Amino acid sequence: MYEEMLLRDFEEALDKNPVAYIPCGLLEWHSSHLPLGIDGIKIEELGRRIAMKYGGVVLPPFYVGAPGFTSYQGTITYRPSTVKQVFSETFAQLIKLGFRVIVAIGGHYGNAQETCLKEAAAEFKDRNDLAIWVLNEADVINDIGIYGDHAGTWETSMGIELCGKLVDLADFKPGVQPIKRYNVPMRVDGFDFEYHNKEFVIVKDLKTCLDKDEIHRNVSLVVDRIGIQAQALLQKILHASRAAESA
């Protein structure tokens, strides 16, 4: 983990495997059974597992995120322009440090967040000595019918596997979820989806519908697919650099 590294550890990690994993998310309402910071918490642990198996460095979670259920209890959101600026500068700083591949993994599945990160990454698209990959972790297993959700079966599964002590289904009931809302105006930046007056429904009974063995298999598949692809990107970049040097 980046924040725990001594300089010698940092230098060794960069020399061996200059891949940075950035957990991205929101501090946001996730019903009664998941913590407010589940977006970043789950991806930090996912990143740790990827780095343990495939190498690389995991940064602390970034909670500067775009809307977002802004009016829902516990939620903190930022203007999309702010989010884009934060990640643009973060990418630039990681490049300065010597990382050749940057993997920004979103634990928040909103289009606003993903758009901000991709726009920030696009600022570096003409560089042939690095790669920036922006994704949500569920993207790599869409082919087996799994997609990101909000406090539903997939996100709760991730919580159970990656930070189980923070998940509490004792008071969970399927159906309309109780939500306290703040009296805030709808945002006018074109990225909001906070449905002030819309009910939030979780159809399935999360106490009974989740299989821990299946969850473990699916999360392990995510680890492998992201780790393998990140290493493939690194090898492609290193090969291109060697070819340019010998030309």
Q: Render pLDDT for 197-227 as a digit per residue (tens, 0 to 9).
A: 678 999 999 999 999 999 999 999 999 999 9
Whole-number pLDDT of residue 191: 57
**Six-digit token pair at 165?**
């002590």
Question: Alpha helix (H) ranges present in 176-211?
Answer: none
Q: Is the pTM of this model over 0.85?
A: yes
Question: Alpha helix (H) ranges present in 55-174?
Answer: 80-97, 111-122, 153-163
Domains of the chain plus CATH, in order, are: 2-246 (3.40.50.10310)
Residues of the chain with pLDDT under 50: none
Q: Render pLDDT for 146-170 as a digit per residue (tens, 0 to 9).
A: 999 999 999 999 999 999 999 999 9
In order, the DSSP letters of 16-84 are: H--EEEEEE--B---TTTS-TTHHHHHHHHHHHHHHHHH--EEPPPB-----S-TTBTT-B---HHHHH
Pairing of strands 175-176, 201-202: antiparallel
In angstroms, rounded to a whole number, what is the distance separating the alpha carbons of residues 57 and 64?
20
Which amino acid is present at 42? K
**166: burial class by Cβ within 10 Å (0-12, 13-18, 19+)?**
middle
181: DSSP letter: B
181 bridge partner residues = 72
Helix 153-163 to helix 38-54 angle (10° resolution) is 60
Whole-number pLDDT of residue 198: 74
170: DSSP letter: T
Measured in degrees and rounded to the nearest 5, phi and psi for residue 85 equal: -65, -45
Beta-carbon count within 10 A of 246 CB = 6
